[in-house]
Amino acid sequence: MKVQVAQWIGKRVEMEDSYAVRHFPEGLLAVVCDGMGGHDCGFQAAEIAARLFVKAFEQSADQTTAQRLRDALDFANKSVGDYFHRRGMYGGCTLLAAYVASGVLWWVSVGDSLLLLWRHGRLLRLNADHSMRSIYEEFVRAGTMSFEDAMAQGHSLRSAVTGDKIPLVDSPPTPYLLLPGDRIVLASDGVDELMLPIPLSNAARVILNSRSDNLSAAIVEGCRSLGRPNADNVTVLSMDFTSAVQT
């Protein structure tokens, strides 16, 4: 199974997202990390977390997949903390890692990066959102807050990779069964305004339904086309699942 990758700096001064992809004989690992804005060296935190998560995952093949993912997260978290401690600084990032093998999807996530599944015309968010947006969603449903305001005000994280104890981790003990035709998307929160509105826009549906284009590049271009003056960094990794036996 191939991973398509695309990035866009948005309207920011620096790209603070980082990603990693690693193929294994039995499966594929994809990682997206988004440096915390307003903190020291967001990109360094994201790069360290993504790179060392993969390293730790590689070195723990004798454990269960769920344990490998959780241990790799702990190692990445400690590594980020050590990096900033040595420099007398503070920083952090989100982390989302997905592992596909034998027709199932495992993941671990901290923060607000998105793990999405497009299946039979429906877009599902599989992982938890550890930002204030998930709190504000209740206000949106109740009609006391607009979706636009929730997106604008809800970027504060309730959990992140900083070296401290991680308060919230989404790490299901059992995997998610994949079906032929599923499209898996890992993305930093720069895609929120394109991919999260309910109902999903026609533009997003067209992008997700098209099998002729590079899905990651199409999502990034969709974010560009929104023309938002404060557009965030965008990183998208996408995978098309065809069967349990991938080539």
Round to whole Å and give the CA distance between 45 and 90.
10
Backbone angles phi, psi at 12, to 5 degrees: -90, 160
- 154 pLDDT tier (thresholds 50, 70, 90): low
* pLDDT score at 85: 92
Find how far residue 204's CA is from the centre of its chain: 18
pLDDT digits (tens, 9 = 90+) for 5-18: 999 999 999 999 99
pLDDT digits (tens, 9 = 90+) for 39-89: 558 899 999 999 999 999 999 988 999 999 999 999 999 999 999 999 888
* pLDDT score at 61: 87
Q: Are strands 27-34 and 17-24 parallel, antiparallel or unpaired?
A: antiparallel
3-240 CATH pick, 3.60.40.10, 3.65.10.10, 3.40.50.300, 3.30.360.10: 3.60.40.10
- 247 pLDDT tier (thresholds 50, 70, 90): very low
**Model confidence at 134: pLDDT above 80:** no
| Closest residue by Cα to residue 41 from 82, 77, 75, 89 | 89
Domain chopping of the chain, boundaries: 3-240
**Model confidence at 38: pLDDT above 90:** no
187 and 33 in contact (C-beta within 8 Å)? no
* pLDDT score at 41: 82
* pLDDT score at 245: 57
- 4 pLDDT tier (thresholds 50, 70, 90): very high
